[in-house]
């Protein structure tokens, strides 16, 4: 299963070019289920963790959350929005605190559109082992710096996310759960979006998410 997103340009729409791709579990979406102990994929010590169900709700929707993405190209700071997307923010915070994103890459980058990361396989086919339901915005809410979930259709969110880097991305239909906004480091995201090897959408050299640090203010 691949997570798909189409550009706002007529040409790309006609061609149905897949621009955001990924895969989570093939199981039905989980809503607030207990999260069982993590397993690992493969036998390596650094193998990605995997769970059979989405994390329980643990964030305080009235608190303030932000994320600092330390990447090989610089830092990107994101204000998370638990009021807009509490389940999505809870999922992102959970995965970040588990170290799930550390060492993963932005595997797909498109200038003036988006950069996509959060796939443990680095191919657009990976995920955390579960899926969860959408929390979709109103039409017209995406803008440059928006952070939203990649998906493979309704209620198929997992770990992959994208950052909007141009007006084509800002013009997307409201089919992707919007859960944050870049507050610092948009220039880093913009640079990453231009780093694809010729004829590909994969950065060369690879761009690594070295660590995601979550900051909380006002949480109970």
**Phi, psi angle pair for 96, to nearest 5°:** -65, -45
Q: Give the count of beta carbons closer than 10 Å to the beta carbon of residue 203.
A: 22
In tens digits, what is the pLDDT along the chain, a chain of 220 residues?
A: 345 554 443 223 222 233 454 444 444 455 454 444 454 444 343 467 999 999 999 999 999 999 999 999 999 999 999 999 999 999 999 999 999 999 999 999 999 999 999 999 999 999 999 999 999 999 999 999 999 999 999 999 999 999 999 999 999 999 999 999 999 999 999 999 999 999 999 999 999 999 999 999 986 6
Residues 6+ apart with CB under 8 A from 43: none
**Phi, psi angle pair for 88, to nearest 5°:** -70, -45
Residues 6+ apart with CB under 8 A from 145: 163, 164, 181, 182, 183, 186, 189
Domains in the chain (CATH in brackets) are 10-217 (2.40.100.10)
Predicted TM-score (pTM) of the model is 0.85
């Amino acid at each position: 299963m691949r997570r798909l997103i189409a550009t706002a340009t007529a040409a790309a729409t006609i061609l149905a070019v897949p621009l955001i791709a990924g895969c989570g579990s093939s199981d039905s979406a989980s809503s607030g289920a207990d999260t069982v102990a993590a397993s690992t994929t493969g036998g390596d010590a650094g193998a990605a963790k995997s769970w059979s169900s989405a994390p329980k709700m643990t964030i305080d929707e009235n608190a303030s959350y932000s994320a600092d993405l330390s990447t090989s190209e610089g830092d990107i700071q994101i204000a998370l929005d638990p009021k807009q997307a509490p389940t999505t923010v809870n999922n992102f915070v959970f995965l970040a605190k588990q170290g799930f994103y550390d060492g993963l890459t932005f595997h797909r980058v498109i200038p003036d559109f988006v950069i996509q990361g959060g796939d443990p396989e680095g191919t657009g086919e990976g995920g955390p082992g579960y899926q969860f339901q959408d929390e979709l915005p109103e039409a017209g809410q995406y803008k440059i710096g928006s952070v939203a979930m990649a998906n493979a259709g309704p209620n198929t969110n997992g770990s992959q996310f994208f950052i909007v880097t141009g007006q084509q991305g800002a013009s997307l239909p409201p089919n992707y759960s919007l859960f944050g906004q870049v507050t610092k480091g948009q220039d880093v995201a913009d640079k990453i979006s231009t780093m694809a090897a010729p004829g590909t959408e994969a950065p060369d050299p690879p761009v690594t998410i070295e660590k995601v640090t979550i900051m909380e203010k006002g949480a109970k």
